[in-house]
Amino acid sequence: MEITIDQIIATVKEASSRMVRSGFEVHDKGSRENLVTSSDLAVQDFLTERLSALLPGSGFLCEEEDLNDFEGHAFVWVIDPIDGTANYARANENCAISVALLREGQAYMGVVYSPWRGECYWAVKGGGAFCNGVPIHVSDRPYEDGLLYTAMSTYHKEWARSCHDIIFDIYLDCNDVRRTGSAAVELCLLASGYADLYFELRLMPWDYAAAALILCEAGGSICSFDGAFPSLTVPSLVVAANRPESCRRILSVVHRHLKQLPYA
C-alpha cells in the first residue's frame, strides 16, 4: 500500500487540534520534571488510530503508555505526540508533534509540526527537506561561529555534571548556546540554518526520528556515541551539526569526557 507525505501532514495537523492553551490535565511520570498531559494522550490516540488505518499492519513505537510494537513490521511509526511537554504545559510555543515512518528499520518519512510556532517541517528520504512547503538547508557556518542547541539531561540530573562539562568545552570554541526545550524543534531549526551545532546526552527515538531525517535531507549530519546514525529503537546520545567536521568535533569533546555511555 502506498502512503504519501501529504496524508501524514494532514493527519498530524488534524491531531494538533487536540493541543489547547488551557484546560488539560498534567501528571508527572515519576519525577517532577517529566510530565504528561491529557493532550499528549489525546494526540497519540488520534495518531495511532488514523495512521494504522492509513497503513494497515504497521507497527508503533510511541512515547506514552509504553506503546512498543515494532518487531517484525516492515513499516513502523515512531511518534512523540508532544515533544516539549514542559513547554506545552506552560502554553510556551516551543512544542511539536513528531511523527516518523520507518521502512525496514530506516527513516523513510518524517513530519515535525509545531502549531504555535506555525512551522510544519517534513522530509521524504531522498527528496529534500521543507518547512511550510519551502525547501530548507543547513548553514555553512564554521564551528567557531556556531550556535549550539543542547540540554542538561533534564530527566536524569545525575548526568548533568557530564553534560555541563561537555557543553562548557563546546561553548569555549563556538559562538553561543541556545535551548528551546523541544529536541525535535531544535533539530529542525538546525536543519533550517538558524543554529549550527547540537548535543544531548540521552534522547529517545521519538524525540529525533523525524527530525533526524529532516536534518539529513537538509544537508546536515547526525550521529551517536559510536559515530553511527542514532538508533531508531533504543535511547541514544545525539550529536548533530550543519557540517560533518563540526559533528566530529563535538563528538571528540564528548569522548574526552565520557569513555562510555552512563546507560545501556
From the list ligand IPD, Ca ion, none, partner contacted by residue 213 (C-beta under 5 to 8 A by kind):
none
Exactly one of 111, 151, 210, 253 binds ligand IPD (CB under 6 A); that residue is 151
Report the distance separating Cα 197 and Cα 210, nearest Å. Answer: 18
Nearer to ligand IPD among residue 121 and residue 124 (C-beta): 121
Query: Which positions from 58 through 87 interact with Ca ion, judged by CB under 5 A?
Result: 63, 80, 82-83, 85
Nearer to Ca ion among residue 63 and residue 200 (C-beta): 63
Q: Hey, is 53 helix, strand or coil?
A: helix
Q: Are 39 and 20 in contact (CB under 8 A)?
A: yes
Report the distance separating Cα 66 and Cα 201, nearest Å. Answer: 22
Does position 64 interact with ligand IPD (CB under 6 A)? The reply is no
Compose the 187-216 pattern: x for residues touching Ca ion by CB under 5 A, - for all others. Answer: --------------------x---------
CB of 183 to ligand IPD, least distance (A): 3
Query: Which positions from 2 through 61 interact with ligand IPD, judged by CB under 6 A?
Result: none
Does position 163 interact with ligand IPD (CB under 6 A)? The reply is no
Alpha carbon of residue 162 to chain centroid: 21
Q: Which three cell numbers stand for residue 178?
A: 541556545
CB of 72 to ligand IPD, least distance (A): 26
Nearer to Ca ion among residue 87 and residue 192 (C-beta): 87
Report the distance separating Cα 57 and Cα 178, nearest Å. Answer: 40
Give every CB contact of residue 101 below 8 A, 6+ residues apart in sequence.
Answer: 3, 8, 55, 58, 75, 76, 77, 78, 107, 108, 109, 110
From the list ligand IPD, Ca ion, none, partner contacted by residue 203 (C-beta under 5 to 8 A by kind):
ligand IPD
Measured CA to CA in angstroms, residue 160 lies from 151, 164, 203 at distances of 9, 6, 14
CB of 228 to ligand IPD, least distance (A): 20
CB of 227 to ligand IPD, least distance (A): 21
Exactly one of 19, 76, 80, 247 binds ligand IPD (CB under 6 A); that residue is 80
From the list ligand IPD, Ca ion, none, partner contacted by residue 222 (C-beta under 5 to 8 A by kind):
none
Query: Which positions from 177 through 196 interact with ligand IPD, judged by CB under 6 A?
Result: 181-183
Among 192, 185, 253, smallest CA distance to 220 is for: 192
For residue 3, which amino acid is it? Answer: I
Beta strands in 115-220 (DSSP E): 119-124, 129-131, 134-135, 147-150, 176-178, 197-203
Residues within the interface to Ca ion (CB under 5 A): 63, 80, 82-83, 85, 207
| Contact set with ligand IPD (CB under 6 A) | 80, 83-86, 151, 154, 181-183, 200, 203, 207
